[in-house]
Amino acid sequence: MKAEVLKKEANVVELKVEIPQEQVEQAIAKAYIRTRKDYSLPGFRKGKVPRNILEKRFGIEIFYEEAANILVQESYPEVIESQGLEPVDLPDISVEQLDSEQPFIYTAKVIVLPELQLGKYKGLKIAKEEKAVTDEDVDAEIKALQNSKAKLIALGEDAIAAKGDQVVIDFSGTLDGVEFKGGSGVNYPLILGSGAFVPGFEDQLMGAGQGEKVQVKVTMPEDYHNEELAGKEVEFTVEIKEIKRKELPALDDDFAREVGDYDSLAALKDFIRERLEDRAQQESENKFRTDVLEAVRDKAEVDIPEVMIENEIKAMLRQMENRFAQQGLKFEDYLSYTGKTVDDIKAEMRPGAENNVKTELLLDTISKVENISVEEAELEEEIAQLAAVYGQDAKDMRAALEKNRQLEALEQVIRHRKTMDFLAEANVK
């Protein structure tokens, strides 16, 4: 077999491949075996017509298309490896010569992995921001915990609704005196000041009494999902059926013992401070690593093939659809509610997709330049951790990864993580 590069421009390589005539004959023989089930002639059972009979009746050319597929499938991976190419998409194949008595010749136009040009990626002296945890931060957490343990107490008939109260309401909305779809509800619980309803709605219920009916006038947002209502003034008739108010527990040692295994309120505060400090440290580290990655990525240059960006967008779209499915929602309903199309979503995803692809190319390039590799022990440890998460045996997990061809992807995850560790250490101020 002969293979030569005819042309190489940017990320596209055109190859010419020539396969000896003997292999062509072998491929035609395989093509007959693969396709004979499709033929039937009088005097023969379907799939049992001898090759020479088929050739006399239809000509040997009936096997050419399948033979060409066989020859390309068998030769293309070998050609790619011998030329040191890394395709990012299926090749565009053009058959130049196919004859049972001649060599088989085809050309393949291949989009290959682009070469990324690194800028400065070490010694950037990027500062790591440290955030101190204050007494106010601890008090805010304690307050949130106190609110989570609050009880809603129904107030009497003379109650007046205030911000923070829960009101149980019946409501009906009209536009120009006509009720509109989705504008009514019965026994709806609403926290005043929560912003759950359109701006201005909840404010007009504050100061109203239990059993009172209130006429609420609001202007719907310009970007409201129902175009018939967007930007229009509507009116709601609202009946306040019940008012409930939060009763907060006292912040004392009993409260600390109720929420967890703490001897005192002081011990609870110490625990919260420690947790906040851990969180602040992790957030600081995450932001630092993001800053490093962005700085190094901005200094690198690469011409990304469009197909790589499109494939990344498709992957992001699948992830989005899966997230909705896990929540019991349909992606189509989300599109309907937001008034967006799939093309709109893809356009929004595009900048992120470009960054994702460039980041992957960047980390792959730096790992090669810096000889960052994955040891077998590191791979085994990662597999063991995955197995523990899914409650499986490590050997079974590895077998499943190998079967699904995911082992290489897992190695890449570890290698990228190690490369990011290297970049963080090489660029900290």
Q: Is the Cβ–Cβ distance between 306 and 114 less than 8 Å?
A: no
Cα–Cα distance, 16 to 79 (Å, whole number): 10
pLDDT at residue 26, rounded to an integer: 95
| SS3 assignment, position 142 | helix
Q: Which residue has the tokens 């692809």?
A: 357
The two three-digit tokens of residue 295, written as one number: 């700085």
Q: Tell whether the model's pLDDT for residue 339 goes beyond 90.
A: no
* Sign of the dihedral through C-alpha 31, 32, 33, 34: positive
- Cα 34 versus chain centre, distance: 40
| SS3 assignment, position 52 | helix
pLDDT at residue 254, rounded to an integer: 92
Q: Tell whether the model's pLDDT for residue 412 goes beyond 90.
A: yes
User: Strands 92-97 and 151-154: what pairing?
Assistant: unpaired
**Which residues, at least 6 apart from 85, have a Cβ–Cβ distance to it below 8 Å?**
13, 110, 112
User: Which of 242, 272, 263, 274 shows the shortest CA–CA distance to 146?
Assistant: 272
Q: Which residue has the tokens 């033929």?
A: 39
Q: What is the mean pLDDT of residues 277-298?
A: 96
Q: Is the Cβ–Cβ distance between 94 and 288 less than 8 Å?
A: no
Q: What is the mean pLDDT of residues 357-380?
A: 96
Work out the pLDDT band at 10, boundaries 50, 70, 90. Answer: confident
Cα–Cα distance, 216 to 199 (Å, whole number): 11
**Which residues, at least 6 apart from 262, have a Cβ–Cβ distance to it below 8 Å?**
256, 268, 271
Q: Tell whether the model's pLDDT for residue 46 goes beyond 90.
A: no
pLDDT at residue 366, rounded to an integer: 97
Please name the helix (run of DSSP H) or strand (run of DSSP E) that holds residue 324, with its range, or none.
helix 306-326
Least trusted range by pLDDT, from 70-79, 147-156, 212-221, 266-275: 147-156
Work out the pLDDT band at 69, boundaries 50, 70, 90. Answer: very high
**Which residues, at least 6 apart from 119, have a Cβ–Cβ distance to it below 8 Å?**
296, 298, 299, 300, 301
Q: What is the mean pLDDT of residues 58-65?
A: 94
Angle between helix 407-427 and 265-299 (nearest 10): 90
Q: Which residue has the tokens 């026994």?
A: 187
Where do the domains of the chain lie, and which CATH numbers do they carry?
Answer: 2-111 (3.30.70.1050), 151-247 (3.10.50.40), 265-427 (1.10.3120.10)
pLDDT in tens, 123-172: 999 999 988 999 999 999 999 999 989 999 999 888 999 999 999 999 99
Q: Please report, rounded to a whole number, the percentage of residues in the chain having pLDDT higher than 70.
A: 100
Question: C-alpha angle 112/117/120, rounded to 5°?
Answer: 155
Q: Tell whether the model's pLDDT for residue 282 goes beyond 90.
A: yes
**Which residues, at least 6 apart from 67, have a Cβ–Cβ distance to it below 8 Å?**
24, 27, 28, 30, 31, 98, 104
Q: What is the mean pLDDT of residues 322-337?
A: 89
User: Which of 349, 286, 343, 339 shows the shortest CA–CA distance to 316?
Assistant: 349
Cα–Cα distance, 387 to 393 (Å, whole number): 6
pLDDT in tens, 374-408: 999 999 999 999 999 999 999 999 999 999 989 99
Residue 225 phi, psi (nearest 5): -65, -25
User: Which of 11, 53, 14 shows the shortest CA–CA distance to 36?
Assistant: 53
Please name the helix (run of DSSP H) or strand (run of DSSP E) that holds residue 145, with its range, or none.
helix 135-148
pLDDT at residue 87, rounded to an integer: 95
Q: Which residue has the tokens 């509610």?
A: 337
User: Which of 415, 129, 69, 64 shows the shortest CA–CA distance to 280?
Assistant: 129
Work out the pLDDT band at 344, boundaries 50, 70, 90. Answer: very high
Q: Please report, rounded to a whole number, the percentage of residues in the chain having pLDDT higher than 90.
A: 85
Cα–Cα distance, 383 to 414 (Å, whole number): 11
- 361 or 337, higher pLDDT: 361
pLDDT at residue 93, rounded to an integer: 96
Per DSSP, the residues of 228-290 read TTTT-EEEEEEEEEEEEEEEPPP-SHHHHHHHSS-SSHHHHHHHHHHHHHHHHHHHHHHHHHH
Average pLDDT over the chain, rounded to an integer = 93
Which residues sit opposite 37 in a β-bridge?
none
User: Which of 362, 341, 355 shows the shortest CA–CA distance to 313?
Assistant: 355
pLDDT in tens, 201-237: 999 999 999 999 999 999 999 888 888 889 999 999 9
| SS3 assignment, position 303 | coil
Work out the pLDDT band at 58, boundaries 50, 70, 90. Answer: very high
Cα–Cα distance, 221 to 321 (Å, whole number): 28
Q: Where are the alpha helices (DSSP H) in 155-243?
A: none
pLDDT at residue 273, rounded to an integer: 96
